[in-house]
Structure 1
Amino acid sequence: MEINGLPLHALVVHAAVVFTPLAAIAGVLYAAVPTFRDWLRWPLVGLAAVALVSIWVAYFSGESVEEANPASYDPATLPERADLLETHESRAGVLRISVTVFALVTFAAAWLHTRTGPVRIGLSAGVGALAVLTAVYCVLTGDAGAKLAWDGVQG
């Protein structure tokens, strides 16, 4: 799919690399600073939802780009690009899972916000840990994707 002549993937990854780290930062703050939880829970839910949707749209649109340009990633003729693509795809697979679980735990934490004791501690810890994992894989996936997109380009 294209928008104004550009592949959707090239456009939607910008939302993914902006909103996913913002959601992760909000998740870490939610987990680490209890006084922020009341104020931060709904913005965190919104950011996690946007991150979730943008990551999944980036995944499906990336598959579309690969299918539309098979010669650009052929391991027989371009092994370096094929290796970069494999790295990008494997990291994106972990990112899709981590952002999905992060969003679900975030939604549960917001829904069960008034609970106390082990439920609140467990959900807060889950939000914080998954936020860090999601942020790390967002950076790793974006780095691999940028190397793939800009491979061989002179600046």
Structure 2
Amino acid sequence: MEINGLPAHPLLVHVVVVLLPLAAIGGILVSLWPAAQRKLTFLVPLAAVVGTAVVPLTTKAGHALEDTLGQTTPAIDTHAGYGEKVIWFAVVFAVATVVQWWLLRGKGPSAAVRWIVAAVVVVSAVGVLTIVVLTGDSGARAVWG
């Protein structure tokens, strides 16, 4: 997989490592700070969904790059292992942010339900941040280490 003659993986990975952490930080802010709810409620799930949608493309491009290299190392295996887990964290986070956005739009469920969803958003945001950092760090070490 290439984009304009360059391997697609290092190009696509920038979408994931920018959008998902920004969405995660925004999700935490929306969950804990009412002023952020008024400003970021729509942007957070949008970034989370777009970032999540790019993860499978990035993973596929990573496998294609690995096949092109024709060799693997323990560092590449570690990176690939983390990379395979990103989608699961991202999906949970994206779904949680969409549910939170939907709840914050109306006068629906009780405050307790909104707080439970906010807790799920915060926990899944921390998970996304963690797995993206671990994946990115192991990828950088595979390339530059």
Same-fold call, TM cutoff 0.5: yes
Aligned-residue offset at 1:54: 2.4
Per the alignment, residue 94 of structure 1 pairs with 85
Following the alignment from structure 1 to structure 2, what is the Cα–Cα distance between the partners of residues 4 and 36?
Answer: 39
AA matched with 2:101: A
Unaligned runs of 5+ residues in structure 1 are 74-81
> 4+ residue runs of structure 1 moved beyond 6 angstroms?
none
CA contact (8 A) 1:20 1:51 kept: yes
TM-score, normalising length from structure 1?
Answer: 0.84
Output one character per residue of 1:100-125: Cα deviation in whole Å (capped at 9) or x when no partner. Answer: 11001111111222333222111111
The aligned residue for residue 124 of structure 1 is: 118
**Is residue 18 of structure 1 aligned with residue 9 of structure 2?**
no
- Point out where structure 2 has 5 or more consecutive residues left out of the alignment: none
Displacement after TM superposition at 1:3 (Å): 1.4
For 2:4 and 2:38, locate their aligned partners in 1 and report how far apart those are by CA, in whole Å: 42
Query: Which residue identity lines up with residue 14 of structure 2 in the other structure?
Result: H
* TM-score scaled by length of structure 2: 0.90
How many residue pairs were aligned?
142
Name which of structure 1's ranges 54-63 and 134-143 shifts more when overlaid on structure 2.
Answer: 54-63
Cα deviation, residue 32, structure 1: 1.4
CA distance in 2, matches of 1:5, 1:53: 23
What's the % identity of the aligned pairs?
A: 34
Aligned residue for 2:110, secondary structure, equals coil
C-alpha separation in 1, matches of 2:22 and 2:79: 21
CA contact (8 A) 1:30 1:128 kept: no
Pick aligned residue for 1:133 from 113, 127, 136: 127
* Alpha-carbon separation, structure 1, partners of 2:112 and 2:64: 44
